[in-house]
Amino acid sequence: MNSLTPMHDADSWYRTEQYSCPYHSAVTSVCSASLSMMVVGLRTKRGYCENENYDACPLFLSKMLRKKG
């Protein structure tokens, strides 16, 4: 078995392909990952929201840290 092939049992990991932020809305400029429902600008959307780089976004990271607690 190829060690790089993800397995789908209880003891293994697998990655779902997510190409944009799950908190991003194409309809509004409001970030639902933000506590204050902050409006994000076009530059931020291009840099984080609308591509697979969303996991480097400070708003996304803070949301994930709040969920862990």
Q: How many Å separate Cα 7 from the centre of its chain?
A: 23
Three-class SS state of 20: coil
CA nearest neighbour of 57 among 67, 5, 68, 40: 40
Average pLDDT of the residues in 4-26: 65
**Domain positions in the chain:** 24-69
Q: Above 70 in pLDDT, residue 2?
A: no
pLDDT tens digits for range 35-58: 999 999 999 999 999 999 999 999
